[in-house]
Amino acid sequence: MSNMFLQQVTLSSSRILLELVEEFLPQIIGTPNSLISNDLPYEGHHILVLDSADKPVLLSCDHQDGGRAFLNALAVLDGLNRDRAWLFRLYPALFTGDAYYHGNFRPEDIQLITLAPTLPPGMAQLCRRFPALSCRVAQAMEVNGEIGLFIEPEPLMAFDQSDTHEPETAAIKPFRSGAVTLTEEETRYFNS
C-alpha cells in the first residue's frame, strides 16, 4: 500500500483556478453541460455555461478574494444586460433553450456561482435571500503531485420561505450582583 500525499496549495493566479473549475464543471453544476465561454470580455475570471436544463450559469473565480469574485460577477451580469445584441451574435446558444427564445434572454435569470478560497462578508445572507446565487469555497489541493480542486460539499442553501421555525435561544442567566456568598471550597481557594 502506498502513502498518499495530500496538501493544500496556494494558486498563483485566478486563471489557474478558472482552468481547474472548467475541468471540474460536471462536479460543480452537473452533467450534461455546455461551455459557452471561458474568456468573457469583462474584468475578472468567469465561465459561462448552460446546465443540463439549458439554463445559463455564470461561474466567477478569484484565487484570493471571494468579494472580488462576487463584484466582478455583478459587473459581468450588468454588461450582459447592456450588450444583449452583442451577446446574441457571439453566443447564440444562450438563446436556443426552451426558456430563452430569441429576444427573451434575461441576464437576471442567470444562476451565479462564485468560487474562491474565502467567502465574502455577508454572503451567507445574500445566498439565503437570492436562490440564483451560490457562493462556494474552493481550495486547490495537491494529491500525489497532481493539482485538484476541493469545493465545499454543500453550497449555502437558499432561504426556505416556508420555514417559520424560530432559532432556539439559550436561557440567559442573570448577572450576579451585590454580596455573593462563596462556598467553603471557593473560600479556601481564594484564601490560599
Digitized pLDDT (tens) for each residue of the chain, 192 residues in all:
567 777 777 777 788 888 888 888 888 888 898 888 888 888 889 999 988 888 889 999 888 888 888 999 989 988 888 887 787 788 777 776 554 444 456 666 788 988 888 887 788 778 887 878 888 888 888 888 888 888 886 544 443 444 444 444 444 444 444 455 667 887 787 777
Give the model's pLDDT for residue 102: 41
Q: Give the angle subtended at the CA of 128 by the CAs of 125 and 132, to the nearest 5°.
A: 120
At 86, the amino acid letter reads W
Give the model's pLDDT for residue 162: 43
Give the model's pLDDT for residue 106: 67
Give the model's pLDDT for residue 153: 63
Q: Give the angle subtended at the CA of 167 by the CAs of 126 and 122, to the nearest 5°.
A: 20
**Residue keyed to cell 470580455:** 41
Give the model's pLDDT for residue 1: 52
Q: Is the pTM of this model over 0.85?
A: no
13-159 placed in CATH 3.40.50.720: no
Give the model's pLDDT for residue 107: 64
Give the model's pLDDT for residue 128: 80
Which sign, positive or negative, has the C-alpha torsion 76, 77, 81, 82? Answer: negative
Helix (H, G, I), strand (E, B) or coil at 183: coil
